[in-house]
């Protein structure tokens, strides 16, 4: 019979994994089995948190009582937090000018992390999404929409792609701004003011920043940079400028570039091209953020290959937004881009979802452990399935009542197997 903590035993079936969950839960009465303890010699284990988790009370999809349990689980299991939304430009700096900031929720987030002795990550400074229109607005007429080829920063965009396309969340709320534009100088000044104010406020408290999020394009290899308003108005050096400003504001902060879909070889190649170019320009970039919004088809081999290639850059790798989508609709791609991957949580769960999720998480963590010299932080994108942005895909280790799922046991088993070999 296989040992209950053997990773291969878990592959043998849901029953073994379920038994292990029961055993782990039973053990948890006195000393709970925790992610942060299991991986303490390998990497920090964090989670995204929403506003009610750091401020208390009822929240998104959660009663006050459920919220209190979420907070208890958060404190028990994790030693790092990332803000799901509250440090994004739209939330922290919704209006123009020095008094246009709403610091309350962001302050609560940072204070929660520090008072619970957790590492605090800032997410995110420069992004094409969840950025208010005023940031890009000015008096310069927007260019006419054409089908002409456009030259991008690195590489050349394919013909027919010089179109704005929909906003990340479609028209409305977060739709792409298409009015008269700021000049390059105006936009860089706004970026600098924003970064200096936000990073400066939390200097010495926020340990690590996602300076630029998702600047890479999806699709063919020839489209390297996303045709965002940042790229169109400032030019390709908007990325270097953002890192420069963040470094000025907090020279001790770990500055990372964050993107999704790096499990896809074409997107990964673009990432490597971009980061090498930044390194050649001596841009202060200190870590690669790989979001890792993946699906239950993801294997050890995929993650191993991804990490092996990313490691060639010589920077620490942070897994920044891990979740493993179990919805049928999410099995076609690795994207986090809602506009381009509308079916991510459609179609109900895949068959045998709990077992597939446990298998996928086992392989993914086995790869993280193999690359423990490079992987320094693993952040889940949510505490439990109920608060996940992909709730229908039940992508996390704890269910909506905060009970550990077989995938939790699978991940702990990987840690124990690795520890027993040392």
d(CA 348, CA 217): 29
Q: Which is nearer to ligand GLA, 218 or 321 (CB)?
A: 321
The nearest distance, CB 374 to ligand GLA, in angstroms, is 21
Q: Which of 214, 232, 263, 414 is catalytic?
A: 214
Q: Is residue 405 a contact partner of residue 356, using CB atoms and an 8 Å limit?
A: no
Q: Which of 186, 232, 263, 321 is catalytic?
A: 321
The nearest distance, CB 282 to ligand GLA, in angstroms, is 26
Nearest to 397 by CA among 387, 383, 376, 386: 383
Q: Which is nearer to ligand GLA, 80 or 291 (CB)?
A: 291
Tell which phi-psi region holds residue 61, choosing left (phi > 0), alpha (psi between -120 and 50) or beta: left
3-state DSSP helix/strand/coil percent for the chain, to nearest 5? 40, 15, 45
d(CA 88, CA 398): 26
The nearest distance, CB 19 to ligand GLA, in angstroms, is 34
DSSP of 270-298, one letter per residue? HHHHHHHHHHHTT----EEEE--EEETT-
* Contact footprint for ligand GLA (CB under 6 A): 123, 213, 260, 291, 321, 336, 389
Q: Is residue 409 a contact partner of residue 78, using CB atoms and an 8 Å limit?
A: no
Catalytic, 65? Answer no
Cα of 283 vs its chain's centroid, Å: 22
d(CA 168, CA 191): 20
The nearest distance, CB 381 to ligand GLA, in angstroms, is 7
Task: Give the residue carrying structure tokens 């929720």.
Answer: 105
Q: Which is nearer to ligand GLA, 230 or 389 (CB)?
A: 389
Catalytic, 214? Answer yes
Q: Which is nearer to ligand GLA, 333 or 406 (CB)?
A: 333
Q: Which is nearer to ligand GLA, 213 or 223 (CB)?
A: 213
What's the DSSP call for residue 323? E
The nearest distance, CB 252 to ligand GLA, in angstroms, is 24
Residues annotated as part of the active site: 214, 321
């Amino acid at each position: 019979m296989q040992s209950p903590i053997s990773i291969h035993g878990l592959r043998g079936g849901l029953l073994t994994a379920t038994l292990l969950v029961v055993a782990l839960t039973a053990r948890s009465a006195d000393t709970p089995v925790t992610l942060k303890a299991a991986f303490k010699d390998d990497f920090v284990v964090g989670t995204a948190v929403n506003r009610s988790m750091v401020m208390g009370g009822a929240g998104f999809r959660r009663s006050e009582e459920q919220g209190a349990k979420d907070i208890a689980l958060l404190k028990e299991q994790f030693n790092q937090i990332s803000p799901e939304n509250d440090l994004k430009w739209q939330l922290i700096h919704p209006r123009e000018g020095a008094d246009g900031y709403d610091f309350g929720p962001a302050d609560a987030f940072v204070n929660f992390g520090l008072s619970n002795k957790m590492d605090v990550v800032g997410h995110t400074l420069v992004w094409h999404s969840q950025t208010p229109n005023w940031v890009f607005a000015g008096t310069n007429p927007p260019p006419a929409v054409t089908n002409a080829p456009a030259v991008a920063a690195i590489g050349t965009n394919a013909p027919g792609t010089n179109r704005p396309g929909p906003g990340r969340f479609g028209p409305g709320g977060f739709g792409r701004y298409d009015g008269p534009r700021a000049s390059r100088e105006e936009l860089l000044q706004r970026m600098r003011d924003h970064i200096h104010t936000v990073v400066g406020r939390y200097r010495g408290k926020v340990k690590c920043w996602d300076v630029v999020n998702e600047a890479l394009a999806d699709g063919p290899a020839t489209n390297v940079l996303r045709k965002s308003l940042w790229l169109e108005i400032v030019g390709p050096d908007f990325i270097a400028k953002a890192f420069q400003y963040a470094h000025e504001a907090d020279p001790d902060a770990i500055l990372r570039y964050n993107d999704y879909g790096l499990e896809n070889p074409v997107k990964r190649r673009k990432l490597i091209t971009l980061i090498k170019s930044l390194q050649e320009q001596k841009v202060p970039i200190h870590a690669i953020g790989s979001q890792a919004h993946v699906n239950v088809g993801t294997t050890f081999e995929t993650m191993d290959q991804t990490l092996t290639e990313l490691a060639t850059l010589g920077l620490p790798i942070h897994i920044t937004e891990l979740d493993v989508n179990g919805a049928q609709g999410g099995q076609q791609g690795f994207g986090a881009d809602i506009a381009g991957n509308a079916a991510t949580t459609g179609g109900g769960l895949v068959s045998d979802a709990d077992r597939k999720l446990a298998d996928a998480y086992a392989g993914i963590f086995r790869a993280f452990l193999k690359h423990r010299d490079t992987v320094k932080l693993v952040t889940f994108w949510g505490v439990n399935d109920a608060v996940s942005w992909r709730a229908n895909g039940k992508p996390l280790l704890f269910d909506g009542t905060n009970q550990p799922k077989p995938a939790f046991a699978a991940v702990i088993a990987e840690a124990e197997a690795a520890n027993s070999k040392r």
